[in-house]
Amino acid sequence: MIFVNFKTYQKGSGDSALILVKECQKVEKERGIEIIPVVQTVDLRLLKDFNVFVQHVDDIDFGPNTGEVLPQAVIEAGARGTLLNHSENKIPIEVIGSTIQKIRNLKSDFKVLACCESLDEAQEISQFRPDFLAYEAPELIGSQTSISQAKPEVISEFTKVIKEIPVLVGAGIREREDVRKALELGAKGVLVSSDLVLADDFRDQLIDLVKAFKK
Catalytic residues: 86, 136
Other residues' Cβ atoms within 10 Å of the Cβ of residue 128: 19
Residue 142 backbone class (left: φ over 0; alpha: ψ -120 to 50; beta: rest) = left
CB 55 within 8 A of CB 69: no
Q: State the Cα angle at 96 between 93 and 101, rounded to 5°.
A: 130
CA distance 27 to 207: 7
CB 92 within 8 A of CB 58: no
CA distance 53 to 74: 9
CA distance 75 to 77: 5
CA-based diameter of the chain, in Å? 52
CA distance 199 to 203: 9
